[in-house]
A = this chain, B = another copy of it.
Amino acid sequence: MSGILIAEDEERISSFIEKGLRAAGYTSHVVANGGDALDFASTGSFDLVVLDIGLPGLDGFEVLRRLRAAGSTIPVIILTARDSGTDTVAGLEGGANDYMSKPFRFDELLARIRLRVKDGGLADRVVLAYGDLSLDTRTRRATIGSRIVDLSAREFGLAEEFLRHPDQVLSREQLLSRVWGFDFDPGSNVVDVYVRYLRAKFGADRIETVRGMGYRLR
């Protein structure tokens, strides 16, 4: 029973989150003001709160403060406006577990929710593995069979992306945006170069070229 409380007054955003959560298999409930947020969060029947800072009535900070003052330990993810560094900090000092800056990608929010909600401990592994290839996210190292290979940050990011989508063709654009970030020069051949680096470390046949499409882990 994973119930998530969404406290957000902009209907556009709350319904966006609600639909996404439903699709991901979570049940959720939306409230649009601070008072309701506090009341519902206090019932103990939710596993996590997604809390907007700019709520009418009690604002998000105040809701959070009172919630914690009442002894609640429910995980709270704060939604904050971009560029308000101060807000973010204050919110997290105030007892929030995580935050998202608006505008945000839904799957990022989902990933953070999954981390916090106790729906089984399987969601978050420290090691990603596929076949005899594995990545240790703690040490930033890869293991191939029993051979240990050190990876640079970029190499690791790229390898991680492959391991999260094994057997799947990933285009240069996808890799570029996911590993390097959205606003990276699309005319660059960095992806090619880093695929080469990974091949040198993993063995050339691990990453397959799909001509005209991209690369695939096998």
Report the nearest B residue to A121, measured CB to CB.
Answer: B75
B146 and A126 contact, CB distance less than 8 A:
no
Which A91-137 residues have a C-beta within 8 angstroms of B?
A: 92-93, 95-99, 116, 118-122, 124-127, 129, 132, 134
B143 and A124 contact, CB distance less than 8 A:
no
List, in ascending order, chain B residues with CB within 8 A of A99's CB: 126-127
A153 CB to closest chain B CB, in angstroms? Answer: 9
A121 and B76 contact, CB distance less than 8 A:
yes
Report Cα–Cα, A98/B121, bound state, in Å.
Answer: 10
Q: How many copies does the complex hold?
A: 2
Give per-residue flags for A46-76: 1 if the beta carbon is below 8 A from chain B beta carbons, else 0: 0010000000000000000000000001111
A73 and B125 contact, CB distance less than 8 A:
no
List, in ascending order, chain B residues with CB within 8 A of A98's CB: 125-126
Say yes or no: is A148 at the interface (Cβ < 8 Å to chain B): yes
List, in ascending order, chain B residues with CB within 8 A of A124's CB: 97
A157 CB to closest chain B CB, in angstroms? Answer: 14
Say yes or no: is A85 at the interface (Cβ < 8 Å to chain B): yes
Known pairs A76-B121, A85-B148, A92-B134; list 12 more (Cβ under 8 Å): A48-B121, A73-B122, A74-B121, A75-B121, A86-B146, A89-B143, A89-B146, A92-B126, A92-B129, A95-B122, A97-B124, A118-B118
